[in-house]
Structure 1
């Protein structure tokens, strides 16, 4: 049975909602806070296919840019894009889609899925840090110290949670809809 466009749109909206619900939870840590955004992006990327992942993140970004308080700490607006953390938001599109695409290639096995999630989270960190460097005018060393170093172990922890929980969700839903039949 082929999945309907309505089903796909529902998954996209649900993915955006998951990111929006988890985004307000932040732990301030200098200009870049620890948030649950990357956990949410990793989760939807693990469970959804690349197309739905991309459009879920895009919808989330659009909602935030038009003024809904869905970004970290309840912020919103296009000005967030031009802030030091704006690059992390844009990196969600790339990192999330890459995670989803790569997971389809490794057939959702536990260890490869974990490696894919770690690499995807690192992509988001690196892209966000590049943006941080150019927006703030910081040196590469300073940008790396602010934008990557404090988050390495946190992102590894998120990747563990996302991999275990995401694969469990896929296995639980495999019998309910062929969309979740991976491999």
Structure 2
């Protein structure tokens, strides 16, 4: 890896830490409200699939090493047992898929597919992990079911859809600005 690629990965890992804690005490149904999905999409769309997913993996490992970078300023290996840890795992694939689908495409349909893939990966991985965590090791309500886990996530969907649309809308503008200044070094 080149030095600027390492810096870009570190930058997006830091943005994820900030995005995880923009609203440190706002939770709905036990899931904190964050801007992490936005930064995962931006990482993939701006850095490409390889560097975008690498930056999200760096964020994951920084948090598992004990730095309080996860939502609500949490971190450490015990985070694996948090019901929301699946969402953190999903960000690696969200960045990868966004980067792969967008590539260097200027087609508007690519942005639609990237957004759909981002939300789908985030929700499927995160919600299934949350369901498994509540069933196996976390305290769940006595009547907790798979349908209930998904109904909890329905509360977040409008927010995540809006975040996804905004994120995808700014990617071409940021790419264009960087290309005009000839500082867009990433080639996936």
- TM-score norm. by structure 1 comes to 0.88
Distance in 1 of aligned mates of 2:38 and 2:184: 25
Map Cα deviations across residues 130-168 of structure 1 (whole Å, 9 max, x no partner). 00111101421011112x211211111001110112221
**1:124 maps onto 2:122 in alignment:** yes
Choose 171-180 or 60-69, whichever is displaced more. Answer: 171-180
**1:113 maps onto 2:111 in alignment:** yes
Q: Which residue of 2 aligns with 1:140?
A: 146
Distance in 1 of aligned mates of 2:184 and 2:34: 32
Which stretches in structure 2 are left out of the alignment for 5+ residues?
136-143
- The question of whether the paired residues in 2 share the 8 Å contact of 1:88 and 1:127 is answered with yes
Give 1:68 deviation, angstroms.
1.0
1:61/1:181 Cα in 2 relative to 1: closer, same or farther (>3 Å)?
closer
- The question of whether the paired residues in 2 share the 8 Å contact of 1:170 and 1:180 is answered with no
- TM-score norm. by structure 2 comes to 0.86
Give 1:127 deviation, angstroms.
0.7
- The question of whether the paired residues in 2 share the 8 Å contact of 1:22 and 1:37 is answered with yes
- The question of whether the paired residues in 1 share the 8 Å contact of 2:13 and 2:55 is answered with yes
